[in-house]
């Protein structure tokens, strides 16, 4: 069961400031882990968007080669 509570940002800051050291460390690790995950997704997305793509000519050549290999295998 989950409960949702609306807390003002300032209240949240005050709550976090009063956390014991071990809980503060755990919270910081979780927040940092989320940042890393978001960054990794952004890096992957950027890589995919800037990655080279096949031209129509290259795709036709691949299809032609694939067809030739398939014919050779069935003989």
- Distance of alpha carbon 27 from the chain centroid: 21
pTM: 0.39
Helix, strand and coil in the chain, % to nearest 5 = 75, 0, 25
- In 3D space, the residue among 18, 6, 21 whose CA is nearest the CA of residue 29 turns out to be 21
Q: Confidence class of residue 35 from pLDDT cuts 50, 70 and 90?
A: low
Q: What is the mean pLDDT of residues 16-26?
A: 89
């Amino acid at each position: 069961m989950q409960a949702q509570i609306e807390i003002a940002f300032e209240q949240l800051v005050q709550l976090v400031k009063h956390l014991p050291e071990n809980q503060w460390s755990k919270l910081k690790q979780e927040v940092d882990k989320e940042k890393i995950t978001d960054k990794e997704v952004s890096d992957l997305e950027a890589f995919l968007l800037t990655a080279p793509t096949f031209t129509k000519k290259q795709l036709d050549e691949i299809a032609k080669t694939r067809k030739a290999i398939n014919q050779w295998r069935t003989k």
